[in-house]
Structure 1
Amino acid sequence: MKLYFYRGVRPNFGDELNWWMWPKIFGDVFDQSAENLFLGIGSILFSDHPKEMRKIVFGSGYGGYTSPPVIDKKWDVRFLRGKFTAKALGLDDGLAVGDSAILLRSVVDYAAPHKKVHKFSYMPHWESAEIGLWKDVCELIGINYIDPCGEIEFVLKEILSSETVITEAMHGAIVSDALRVPWIAAKPIHESHRAKWDDWASVLDLKIRMEPILPSGLLELLISKIGQRGFISSKLQFHGKSLNGIRHDAFVIRAAEQLQKVARTMPQLSPEAAIQRAHQRMLDEVDRLRRDYPELHCQQ
């Protein structure tokens, strides 16, 4: 069975959870098989997956970045990230269970006592981390910076050692919520990253309050206006270091002041009953998938 997930210019936390978590649940079963494609964490439901392969959907979402796939007999949809995804794919919203990163509850000892080293931590979206100055912003106001492209175990440790996680990265919120660490949603600077938050929240009796943040540098401001991709965007990013040097302190100070305001807002958590319900349904699907696919029986 082949494990598929998105990997951009740099590995990022939400997508890299796939290679870290799934072997802990199913064992050493993933290879380059051309028969079955396993789709887990991420907005990875699109139309250009190989038509001849069976696509096993296990908590994935539709992000709106591409056209939605046409679901035929080659799609084995076990459960979806949320109701927005179900609607986009023309499927029953009873398949909307939650983002499969919630299964971290089965492999991370989140209930054990964890020393809270950081009052607040901030995790930007990985694209914002790439083009922005968020480490400088956090250092200015004494908020712990979590690199969304950091090693999985280090990021998990940073989340668990925080009293509150402020996050522009959706999986910063999803993982914090699953591990019962209060979080504050920072409204993604890039509009294309916003809708999928509501998809995840739709199955957890959760209404997300998104707090606005400000671009941390000139490059981030420009990219937020024209989008992350395209010829002009690529040119701007090529000159990113020099652009971010223009009025560096002014951008960092304004972003820091706004982040301080965000830190004074009320953090969120999904209801305990909702997260337990989603987790149990996922565990039921894990068992059902093992029964249906013999290669998944070799759990470590």
Structure 2
Amino acid sequence: MKLFYFRFPNGISNFGDNLNPWLWDRLLPGVFDQDKTTTFIGIGSLLNNYIPKAHKTVVFGSGVGYGKGLPKVDESWKIYCLRGQLSAKALGVASELAVTDSAVLVRRLYKQTTTKVNRFAYMPHIDHAILGDSAWKLICEQAGIAYIDPRWQIEQVLSAINQTEVLLAEAMHGVIIADALRVPWIPIFTSTKIFPFKWHDWCSSIDVKYEPKYVMPLRKLYPPGPGVRSSLRYSLKCVKQAPQRFFKAFWADESKKMAIQLADIAKTSKPTLSNEARIEQLTVELEERLQQFKEDMAAGYFDHSG
């Protein structure tokens, strides 16, 4: 069985995507190899027309998003749970399959702490982190808040979120982990490359509204286009070709404006946090679905001849 998740080119690490091997290797040790006969789809907006064909396809907590079309769900698919009701509706499957994002299972693997180091921290979307690079640290310093880079290693991001009192973020899986670890959060929207559908999908599962706060975009670096993934090559090319003097002059002005906005949002906005009973209920439900998956494996459901 092969674990399928999005991987950025050039070895770029992204927290939301790389949660997959970190999480599933701990919850399902020894299950995954390079056998493409069965595909396991977990964390991410992966349910699109890019899914590789397989004898059987397992879906556990993923959601609809990106791509230019929906996958064809047939008898070869086994959906244990989806990110939210919007994904279930889009795929035309039973609403009972909508539980929540499987990243919530981090609650069972990472010990929460009451020790807080940062009052506020900001975590941008991966594409924006690539574009802004080290300038984000300057922006956050000017705003008086900590910076969490989605390109950091999993344990470093988990620790940084866990030690923060309130997380401001464009990165949805940063927010999902924050909510799972009981860290209040404020969603940030900076450009049309943020995909509201997946936010509404997940928020529907935890019974909260997606009400992002707007921060001015990095205008000169955000190319027009249908989605973050499709613009990645442009982003990397832009960063590679632009003279350093351009970035210094550009960021000096833009960073001040963004820092002011972030600081104001941090001080005046009411953060969101799902109900403790609700998030625990969802965690238990994910565990029950995971147990069913284990039982199906033991019964040979995913054998090549099954």
TM-score scaled to structure 1, two decimals? 0.91
Q: Does 1:129 align with 2:132?
A: no
More displaced stretch, 11-20 vs 206-215: 206-215
Is 1:97 aligned with 2:108? Answer: no
Equivalence map 1:1-300=2 (5 Å): 1-9=1-9, 10-110=12-112, 113-132=113-132, 133-216=135-218, 218-219=220-221, 222-223=222-223, 228=228, 229=230, 235-240=237-242, 242=244, 243-264=246-267, 265-294=269-298
* Separation (CA, whole Å) in 1 of partners of 2:262 and 2:175: 16
CA contact (8 A) 1:120 1:263 kept: yes
Q: Is the Cα contact below 8 Å between 1:218 and 1:251 reproduced in 2?
A: no
Distance in 2 (CA, whole Å) between partners of 1:250 and 1:48 is 40
Contact 1:217 / 1:248 at 8 angstroms: preserved in 2? no
- 1:284, distance to aligned residue in structure 2 (A): 0.4
The percent of aligned pairs where both chains have the same amino acid is: 38
CA distance 1:233–1:108, shift in 2 (3 Å) = closer
Give the distance between the partners of 1:151 and 1:232, measured in 2 at CA: 25
- Residue aligned with 1:55, SS: strand
Q: Which segment drifts farther, 126-135 or 222-231?
A: 222-231
Moved more, 14-23 or 242-251: 242-251
Quote the offset at 1:190 in angstroms: 3.4
Shift of 1:169: 0.2
Contact 1:40 1:100 in 2 (8 A): yes
Alpha-carbon offset, residue 50 of structure 1: 3.2
Q: Where does the alignment leave 5 or more consecutive residues of structure 1 unmatched?
A: none
Q: Which amino acid in structure 2 is aligned with residue 181 of structure 1? A: V
- Structure 1: distance between partners of 2:194 and 2:118: 30
Q: Distance in 2 between matches of 1:49 and 1:13?
A: 20
Mapped to 2, the partners of 1:215 and 1:48 lie a distance apart of 29
| Structure 2 unmatched runs, 5+ | 301-306
Alpha-carbon distance, 1:161 to partner: 0.6
The worse-fitting range, judged by mean Cα deviation, of 279-288 and 1-10 is: 1-10
In 1, the alpha carbon distance for the partners of 2:235 and 2:122 equals 25
Asked whether the 8 Å contact 1:116–1:161 carries over to 2, the reply is: yes
Q: Deviations over 1:13-70 (max 9, x none)?
A: 0110011011111112210112211100001112243333311000001114330101
Task: Show CA shifts across 1:199-253 (max 9, x none).
Answer: 001111111220011234732xx42678653686665344345443343211010
- How many residues were matched structurally? 292
Distance 1:58 1:261 in 2: 38
Pick closer, same or farther for the CA change 1:131–1:48 going to 2, 3 Å.
closer
Query: How many angstroms apart in 2 are the aligned matches of 1:203 and 1:187?
Result: 20
What CA distance in whole angstroms lies between the structure 1 residues aligned with 2:190 and 2:92?
27
Write the letter of the residue equivalent to 1:245. K
